[in-house]
Amino acid sequence: MSRNLIRIEYLIDYPQHLETVAQWEYAQWQLLHPGSVMHGWVNALRRKLGRSQIPLTLVMLDGDEPIGAISLIADGNPRRVDLTPWLASLYIEPSWRGRGMGQALMIRGAREARALGHEMVYLETTENQKLFHAKLGWKLIDRILEQGQESLIMAKQLRRTDPVPNESAD
């Protein structure tokens, strides 16, 4: 573990890491978006640079080095436009996986949704990630077949007792 302080910040405050986060997203999910190109992912991420509004992107930093990210967006799946907001694009650098970093980003993302007045938050995942999310209190609410792959839609009730971001140190 690093001696630096691990913290979660708004990506809008660290624009020098925008391309790194976009590269992570492109490398991780480009196969789900045939024909996409890197600059398209950078432009899409620029549209998710909010603070105290949706969409927003959070970046996890070890000192000044980005090690993970997550976004809170309004629309996560075109077949479920009735659901909002969504946690999306959770990514942790491979060398940091298995240390609770993904869990910390998920919790912070949910707190952001709660701070913005939402009582529920949603995500789309795969069967092999279902247990990770279930351990954090997420419930399966739908299964959708997309591009020959089954996607799981999960929901989390946000409790009034959950601290909002400015009430706790991350």
**Domain residue ranges of the chain, discontinuous segments joined by +:** 6-167
**Whole-number mean pLDDT of the chain?**
86
The pTM score is 0.86
Q: Does residue 41 register a pLDDT over 60?
A: yes
Tell me: pLDDT of 36 over 90. Answer: no
Distance of alpha carbon 15 from alpha carbon 46, whole angstroms? 9
- CATH fold of 6-167: Aminopeptidase (3.40.630)
Q: How far is CA 60 from CA 66, 74, 87, 101, in A?
A: 6, 21, 15, 8
**Does the CA dihedral 13-9-132-23 come out positive or negative?**
positive
The phi, psi pair for 109, rounded to 5°, reads -60, -40
Helix (H) or strand (E) holding 69: strand 65-73
End-to-end CA distance of the chain: 17
Q: Stretch 24-43: mean pLDDT, rounded? A: 69
Q: Containing H/E element for 36?
A: none
- The mean per-residue pLDDT over the stretch 146-152 comes to 84
- pLDDT tens across 124-138, in order? 998 999 998 999 999
Look at residue 76 in the predicted model and tell me its pLDDT: 84
